[in-house]
C-alpha cells in the first residue's frame, strides 16, 4: 500500500518538476503552480477514496489525452512505444518482418509486404490475416499485438494466417529493414528524370541528392519531384532538399512562436546541385508539413512549377520534449512561413465552431502574397498548385470508403480473381466501377452525413412531442433523397476512386516499385509535368 501511495504521489510531483524547469510559462507561473496543486490533490483523493479499484495509469492517460485534445492534433503525449515509432519514422530503420501491418482486435492484416524482405520471402501477401503468432492467439492477447512480430535480427517467428478463407502457416525470419525516403528514381524519357520522395526522415536529403546526381549523369535535363502522399517529417531535411535547387544563403522558411528562442529564420547552407534545371513538383491533399515547405518555398522563389491538388495545409512545427520514464510530449511550438511570408495552415484549432471542431480558414479570409517574380500566392489553405488536378469532390464520403478498408479489400478480391500479365496496360472500366459499387452494397457500406444525423435527431424530438405522424412521410422522403444523393456523390468521385483502386491493385502484382513504373506510363499528372518541361516557353510562362 505504501509503494502504491508513493507512486500516486510521485507522478504529480514529477509533473510539477517538469513544469517548474520550463521557460515558456514564466509569466503564468503562479497560475500553473496553482492548477498543478489542485490536480495533484484531486488525483490523490480520487485514487485513495473511490468506491472501486482505480487504475492510476489509465486515469492519467485519459486526463492527458483529454487535455491535449483541446489544443491541436499534433500536440501529443508519447509513451515508450510511440517514442520508438517516432525514431523509426525519423531514421527509416528497424528490425522486423518487412511489411506494413494493420492491427485489429482479432487479427493482424498485411497491408503491404516490402519486396524481398522477410514477409515477402515467406510468401505473405497483402490481405493476409494473421490470427496467431507462435502459440499466441491474436483475439485473446491483451497486450499490443503488433509487438509480437518484432524481435532481434535473424530470429524466427511462426505465424498462422488466413487467405481467402483458407488457413496457412509460415515461418518468417526477421531482418533489418530500411525504409527509403526515395523509394524510386528513374528516367521518364531520355531527358526527364523522375524522383519520388515519400518521407522526410534523416536520409531524405542524402537520397534525393544521390538520385538527382545519378539522373543528371544519365542525361536528365529536367526533373519531376513527386511529393504526393508525403506527410512530412524533419524540417532541416526539407531545407536541405530545397538547397539542391537554389543558391546558398537563400531564405527558405521562418518560424514564429511566443517563445523567442523558437523564432528562427532558416537559410540554405550549402552550394546547390543545379539552380537552372527545370523543375516540376507534384503534390496532393496528403502532401503535408515538410512537403509544403519544399513545394511552397520553391513556388515562392519561382524555382518550380507546382502540379496536382491543393496540399494538406499544415503550417505548424512540433518539437519533442523529454519527460520521465522514457516518455515524451510532442508540442506545437511555432508556425512556419514560406519566403513570401505566408503561412499555409488550413485549419483553425484555436477558434472552433459550436461543435468544438476546428474550422477551415475561409477563402475570403486568405491573404495575398507575392512570389519572387510577382505572382500572386495565398495563405490559409495549403499550397495551391500552378496546374490544378482536382482530387475527391467529397472527402467525407470517399474517406469513409477508404477508412472502412473497402478499397483495400476490393483490391484483395480483384487480385485473386484476375491473373494480369500486362500491369502497365491496366485500365479499370465502367464495369469495374459498377462491380465496386456492388461490393460496397454487399459489404453494407454506410456513412451517415451530418444532415442525416440532424434529421434523425429532429424526428426523434418530434416523436417525443407526438408530432411525428404529421411529418413521417416527409421525413422518409428526405432520407430516401439523401441516400440517392450519397450514391450520386460516389458516382461524381468515380475517377478518384478508380485511381485509388488502380494503385492498390497494381501494388498487389508488382509491389510499390512497380507502381512508380505504372505511374510513368499512365499517370496524367506525370504526363502533364513532362509536357510542361518539354517546352521551355510553356515552363517559363508559368513562372512569370
Instruction: Give the residue numbers annotated as catalytic, written as ranges.
Output: 289, 314
**How many whole angstroms from its chain centre is CA 469?**
47
Q: Please name the helix (run of DSSP H) or strand (run of DSSP E) that holds residue 206, with its range, or none.
A: helix 204-217
Helix H, strand E, coil C: the string for 478-528 is HHHHHHHHHHHHHHHCHHHHHHHHHHHHHHHHHHHHHHHHHHHHHCHHHHH
What single DSSP character describes residue 385? Answer: P
Helix H, strand E, coil C: the string for 163-209 is ECCEEEEEEEECEEEECCCCCEEEECCCCEEEEECCCECCCHHHHHH
Q: What is the C-alpha separation between 316 and 198, in angstroms, rounded? A: 20
Q: Please name the helix (run of DSSP H) or strand (run of DSSP E) that holds residue 433, with its range, or none.
A: helix 430-442
Q: What is the C-alpha separation between 392 and 285, in angstroms, rounded? A: 9
Residues paired with 318 in a beta bridge: 332
Q: What is the C-alpha separation between 407 and 391, in angstroms, rounded? A: 16
Burial 291-307 (b: 16+ CB within 10 A, else e): bbbbbbbbbbbbbbbbb
Residue 95 phi, psi dihedral angles, 5° rounding: -110, 130
Q: What is the end-to-end Cα distance of the chain in Å, rounded?
A: 74
Going by C-alpha positions, the residue among 265, 262, 230 that lies closest to residue 339 is 265
Contact 96, 177 (CB under 8 A): yes
Contact 184, 516 (CB under 8 A): yes
Record the cell numbers describing residue 405, joined without a space: 478498408
Record the cell numbers describing residue 440, joined without a space: 460496397
Record the cell numbers describing residue 381, joined without a space: 489553405
In degrees, to the nearest 5, what angle opens at C-alpha 333 toward C-alphas 328 and 337? 140
Amino acid at each position: 500500500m505504501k509503494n502504491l501511495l508513493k507512486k500516486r504521489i510521485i507522478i504529480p510531483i514529477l509533473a510539477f518538476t517538469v513544469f517548474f524547469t520550463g521557460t515558456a510559462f514564466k509569466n503564468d507561473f503562479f497560475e500553473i503552480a496553482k492548477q498543478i496543486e489542485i490536480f495533484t490533490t484531486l488525483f490523490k483523493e480520487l485514487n485513495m477514496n473511490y468506491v472501486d479499484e482505480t487504475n492510476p495509469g489509465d486515469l492519467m492517460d485519459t486526463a492527458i489525452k483529454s487535455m491535449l485534445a483541446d489544443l491541436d492534433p499534433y500536440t501529443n503525449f508519447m509513451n515508450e512505444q510511440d517514442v520508438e515509432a517516432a525514431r523509426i519514422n525519423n531514421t527509416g530503420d528497424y528490425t522486423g518482418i518487412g511489411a506494413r501491418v494493420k492491427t485489429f482486435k482479432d487479427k493482424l492484416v498485411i497491408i503491404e509486404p516490402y519486396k524481398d524482405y522477410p514477409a515477402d520471402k515467406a510468401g505473405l501477401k497483402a490481405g493476409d490475416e494473421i490470427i496467431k503468432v507462435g502459440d499466441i492467439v491474436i483475439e485473446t492477447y491483451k497486450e499490443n499485438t503488433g509487438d509480437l512480430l518484432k524481435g532481434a535480427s535473424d530470429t524466427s517467428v511462426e505465424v498462422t494466417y488466413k487467405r481467402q478463407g483458407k488457413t496457412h502457416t509460415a515461418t518468417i525470419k526477421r531482418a533489418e529493414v530500411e525504409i527509403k525516403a526515395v523509394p524510386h528514381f528513374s528516367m521518364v524519357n531520355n531527358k526527364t528524370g523522375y524522383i519520388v520522395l515519400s518521407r522526410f526522415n534523416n536520409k531524405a536529403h542524402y537520397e534525393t541528392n544521390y538520385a538527382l546526381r545519378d539522373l543528371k549523369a544519365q542525361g536528365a535535363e529536367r526533373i519531376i519531384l513527386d511529393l504526393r502522399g508525403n506527410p512530412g517529417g524533419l524540417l532541416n531535411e526539407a531545407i536541405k532538399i530545397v538547397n539542391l535547387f537554389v543558391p546558398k544563403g537563400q531564405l527558405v522558411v521562418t518560424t514564429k512562436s511566443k517563445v523567442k528562442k523558437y523564432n528562427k529564420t532558416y537559410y540554405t547552407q550549402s552550394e546547390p546541385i543545379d539552380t537552372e534545371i527545370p523543375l516540376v513538383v507534384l503534390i496532393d491533399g496528403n502532401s503535408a508539413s515538410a512537403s509544403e515547405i519544399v513545394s511552397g518555398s520553391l513556388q515562392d522563389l519561382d524555382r518550380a512549377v507546382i502540379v496536382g491538388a491543393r496540399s494538406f495545409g499544415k503550417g505548424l512545427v512540433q518539437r519533442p520534449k523529454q519527460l520521465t520514464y522514457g516518455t515524451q510530449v510532442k508540442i506545437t511550438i511555432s508556425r512556419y512561413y514560406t519566403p513570401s511570408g505566408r503561412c499555409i495552415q488550413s485549419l483553425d484549432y484555436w477558434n472552433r465552431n459550436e461543435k468544438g471542431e476546428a474550422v477551415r480558414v475561409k477563402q475570403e479570409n486568405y491573404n495575398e502574397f507575392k512570389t519572387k517574380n510577382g505572382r500572386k500566392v495565398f495563405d490559409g489553405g495549403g499550397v495551391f498548385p500552378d496546374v490544378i488536378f482536382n482530387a475527391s469532390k467529397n472527402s467525407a464520403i470517399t474517406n469513409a470508403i477508404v477508412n472502412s478498408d473497402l478499397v483495400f479489400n476490393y483490391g484483395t478480391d480483384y487480385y485473386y480473381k484476375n491473373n494480369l500479365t500486362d500491369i502497365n496496360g491496366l485500365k479499370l472500366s465502367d464495369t469495374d466501377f459498377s462491380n465496386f459499387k456492388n461490393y460496397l452494397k454487399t459489404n453494407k457500406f454506410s456513412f451517415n452525413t451530418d444532415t442525416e444525423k440532424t434529421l434523425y435527431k429532429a424526428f426523434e424530438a418530434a416523436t417525443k412531442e407526438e408530432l411525428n405522424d404529421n411529418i413521417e412521410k416527409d421525413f422518409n422522403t428526405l432520407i430516401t433523397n439523401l441516400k440517392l444523393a450519397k450514391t450520386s456523390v460516389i458516382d461524381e468521385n468515380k475517377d478518384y476512386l478508380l485511381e485509388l483502386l488502380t494503385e492498390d491493385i497494381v501494388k498487389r502484382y508488382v509491389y510499390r516499385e512497380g507502381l512508380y513504373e505504372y505511374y510513368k506510363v499512365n499517370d496524367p499528372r506525370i504526363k502533364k509535368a513532362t509536357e510542361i518541361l518539354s517546352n521551355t516557353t510553356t515552363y517559363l510562362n508559368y513562372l512569370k
